[in-house]
Every structure is written in C-alpha cells, then in structure tokens.
Structure 1
Amino acid sequence: MKPLPLKAYPREAVGRNQVKHRRAAGRVPAILYGHHIQPKPLEVAETELTHLLHQTSSEVALVDLAVEGEPEPHLAIIKEVQHHPLSQKVIHVDFQAVVADEPVTVVVPVETVGEARGVKEGGVLEHIRHELTIRALPRQLPELLTVDVSNLGVDESITVADMTPPEGVEILEEPDVVVALVAALRAAAEEEVAPTAEGEEAAEPEVIARGKEAEETGGE
C-alpha cells in the first residue's frame, strides 16, 4: 500500500461546542496515537480527507501525515473513520502511527470476483465474510482481499484456508472460516390434498342401504 500525503493541524478545540464550530468551518477532528508517540489531538481539512478516501478501495489507508509545525511527517494508517448517521459526512478520524519495518494488524474488506459455476447451474452465491483481519508490514498492506469464485459449484464453499493472500500478508482468521459459498435452491412447495367431507363419505352407504331395503320390500 502506497502512503498518501495528508496535511494535519494541531487541535486546541476539545470541547463539544468548539469541535462543532470547527466542523462547521470545514475541519474534521482527528487523533494521532501509537506506541511510539503520545496521543495528539489534530484536525484535517474535510475536502482533503474526502478526496483521499475517494482514492482508496476502502477506508483502510496508509498516509504520510504532515502535522503543521513538525519537521517530519508521520507514517500512519487510518484506523477508524466515524460518519454522521444521517448525512454520512466524516465527523472524526483516528490515525495510528506505525513503523515501516514493524507489522501492523488491520481489518480489510473482501471482494468476490468472477461468476460462480454453481450460479450458472441454478445456485445462489452467498458472500459470508465481507471483512477479514490481516497482518503485514505497512507498505505491504493491501486495500482489500479478492476471492475468485469462478470454479465454485453448488454446495461448495471457499474458506480462509483456500485463499492465497498477497506476499507478506497473513490472514489472522481460523482456516475453516467460510468466506463464500454457493447454495442450492430447493423448492419448498407442498402438494395440498383436499379432504373429503364426512357427510359425503357417510351418504353413500346410506343410499346403498336404502336401495337394498326397497328392493327387498318390492320383492315381497
């Protein structure tokens, strides 16, 4: 994963009202933390952050975070992005400072590619796991993992053990975790049998009995 440049500014506004005013001014509150540095309240320009996120396949991104007033940028990953529940605008972002030669653990999306053979046979593709936890060096982190489902038949599945991650990437999930499968369509309709009315069943013997009685009476 190639680091993307992003400018950040020290943030002095920490109260709720102050943060609200900064958001109104087009600034997104942020925090930079890591085991090598003390947590730093920051803010970034909303337009620049939005542009950066549009360049990536997911919100997991590696950035060169240049903090105003500091001589060197911080190599960091976007650890979490919080969105407003209605507008979906970014309202807060967490940056985790990383070291180039130390592995990091992140959650990345999983994307299926190809048309499953089982779908052509009448099955339905079910994408079970949309995210997986991985570990890799910062610059070897993929934006996402892809799973080729082209050879997947009906009642067949792809597990973590079947996946081949990019070089240097370790998937931190149990090998038997199912990522995708093709399920068969089974008809559930039952044939309805209309019950015969009890009165109709009883009527026939009664008619026969009366006919026999009349026949015997006529014979006398």
Structure 2
Amino acid sequence: MQINAKTRSEFGKHNKPLRKQNSLPGVVMEKAKPSLPVTLGFVEFSKVYKDAGETALIDFALEGINFKVLISEVQLNPMSLKPIHAVFRKVDLKEKLTAQIPVEIVNEELNPLIKAGEAILLKLLSEITVEALPSDLPKEFIIDAVKLINIGDEIKVADLEYNRAKVEISEYNANEPVAKLDKVEEMKIEEEIAPALTEEEALAKVTATAELSDEEKAKREEEKKAEKGEKDKAKSDKK
C-alpha cells in the first residue's frame, strides 16, 4: 500500500480550499524531529485507510523520498464522518514501538445462544496495547463468537491468537477478560390488578366504611361532651 503526498504550506482555515479540491491535509511525525505538514489525495487515502487501519505499514512517497509510516490518528467530520485530517508516524523498521491493536468480533450471527436471543456478546476491551517491530504488528485481534458456547464463557488475553515470539502484551494480566457471553435479561413489568368485587362484596365494603364513619363521629361527640364536662366542673370548683 502506498500514499503519494506533497509538502504543505497552508494551515488552519486555509486548508478548506484543499478539501474542496478533494485533497486531505495531514502531518508526518518523526521521533525527535518537528512535524512535517503534507497534503495527499482524499480518495487515495480513504482506500488505504480502509485496508491498513492504524496498524499496517504504508509506503509513503513524499516528493521523491520514500519511507514507511503508520496512520496514527484520523480526524473525522462530525456530520459526514469523512476524514478531514490525518497524522502519520514515521517508523524505524528496526526499532520496536507501542501500538493500539483493535479487537474485532466475528460470527456473532452463528452463535446459537445469540441467534436465539438468549445471550449477548460483550466486548470488554475494544483495543489492546502491544509492543513489537513495525512489520510484526498484528492488524487486529479476532474473537470468534462461535467458540463461546455457554453463558458466562470468556475470551481472555491468554486466549488471543498472535505471534508470541514477536508481539508482547505487557499491560494486561493473562486472565484479563476481553469478551464475555452474557445472559440477556428481560425486563418484565408486572402490573398488579385488583380482583373485581361482587355486588355483595362491594355493598358490604361501602356499609363497613359508613359504619366506621358513624363510630368515629360518635367517638368524637363523646370526647367533646367529656371535655365540656371537665370545663364545667372546673368552673363549679372555682365558685
């Protein structure tokens, strides 16, 4: 894969005309050196980025000078999601580097539990940091959903397939889960419906409520009479 580029002198708002000309502004980063502004073809970059991602080596041709780069970062238009700026990292093929390798899940539609709607595959790590020579970087870590058979089954870092002689994963414990087959929890909303009352039960309930109200009234009336009696007695004692 190759990208052809030219040095760029336009910056900031002056990059808008470049984009209208179907060109993409970018920069090349190199260790211990200033960044180098460049411009490249939008269509060419889009095709290369689709195949290479951020982990595959790319031949970078800059006005007669060729070197290897990795795509380090791509800025997207928030509305169209099309690239509007790219950052490339110039690499030394003999020097190990650190990179973020994406985790990809395949064959979810072939997993019996997922097909039946009984399970969901959770991706617990979206990318994994590795250290390797640029030419030895894996493009991605593939997780086959078919290999997860029972609810609770996990794919751990130790289960990932890669060249252990050339690629090192040091930031994660070997037992760190990368993906897990989890049960689908159905949210059931149960409404409590009171049983319908018969005519006799409804009448009895109304009568009981009425009787209770009469009792309450009588009780309050007696309390008032008692209170009045105590006041009258107090007045008589004073006399």
TM-score bracket relative to the smaller structure: 0.7 to 0.9
CA displacement 1:94-128 (0-9 Å, x = unmatched): 01111101112222221123444654673222223
CA–CA separation in structure 2 for the residues paired with 1:44 and 1:51:
12
The correspondence of residues 24-35 of structure 1 with structure 2, limited to 5 A, is 24-35=20-31
Q: Which residue of 1 aligns with 2:61?
A: 66
User: What's the secondary structure of 1:150's corresponding residue?
Assistant: helix
Cα pair distance change 1:85/1:193, threshold 3 Å: closer
4+ aligned runs moved over 4 Å, structure 1: 190-197, 199-202
Q: Which residue of 2 aligns with 1:19?
A: 15
TM-score with structure 2 length normalisation?
A: 0.70
User: What's the secondary structure of 1:65's corresponding residue?
Assistant: strand
Q: Which residue of 1 aligns with 2:6?
A: 9
Alpha carbons 2:54, 2:70 under 8 Å: kept: no
Cα pair distance change 1:35/1:118, threshold 3 Å: same
CA–CA separation in structure 1 for the residues paired with 2:50 and 2:185:
41
CA displacement 1:152-181 (0-9 Å, x = unmatched): 211222222322323422234422432211
Amino acid at match of 1:171: I
TM-score with structure 1 length normalisation?
A: 0.76
Percent identity for Structure 1 against Structure 2: 28
Cα pair distance change 1:195/1:161, threshold 3 Å: same
Amino acid at match of 2:20: A
- Structure ranking higher in helix proportion: 2
The correspondence of residues 51-62 of structure 1 with structure 2, limited to 5 A, is 51-56=47-52, 58-62=53-57
User: What's the secondary structure of 2:48's corresponding residue?
Assistant: helix
Q: Which residue of 1 aligns with 2:130?
A: 134
CA displacement 1:23-64 (0-9 Å, x = unmatched): 2222211111121543211111112111212333x3443211
Cα pair distance change 1:88/1:200, threshold 3 Å: same
User: What's the secondary structure of 2:138's corresponding residue?
Assistant: coil
* 2:144 counterpart of 1:151: no
Q: For structure 1, list consecutive stretches of 5 or more residues without a partner in the other structure.
A: 208-220
Q: Which residue of 1 aligns with 2:218?
A: none
Aligned CA RMSD, in angstroms, stands at: 2.8
The correspondence of residues 47-196 of structure 1 with structure 2, limited to 5 A, is 47-56=43-52, 58-68=53-63, 70=64, 72-114=65-107, 115-116=110-111, 118-119=113-114, 122-152=118-148, 153-167=150-164, 168-175=166-173, 176-189=175-188, 194-195=193-194
Once the 2 structures are TM-superposed, how far is the Cα of residue 80 of structure 1 from its aligned partner?
0.4
Once the 2 structures are TM-superposed, how far is the Cα of residue 89 of structure 1 from its aligned partner?
2.0
CA–CA separation in structure 2 for the residues paired with 1:26 and 1:164:
40
Q: Which residue of 2 aligns with 1:218?
A: none
Once the 2 structures are TM-superposed, how far is the Cα of residue 190 of structure 1 from its aligned partner?
6.9
Amino acid at match of 2:177: V
Amino acid at match of 1:170: E
User: What's the secondary structure of 2:125's corresponding residue?
Assistant: coil
Alpha carbons 2:138, 2:162 under 8 Å: kept: no
Q: For structure 2, list consecutive stretches of 5 or more residues without a partner in the other structure.
A: 209-239
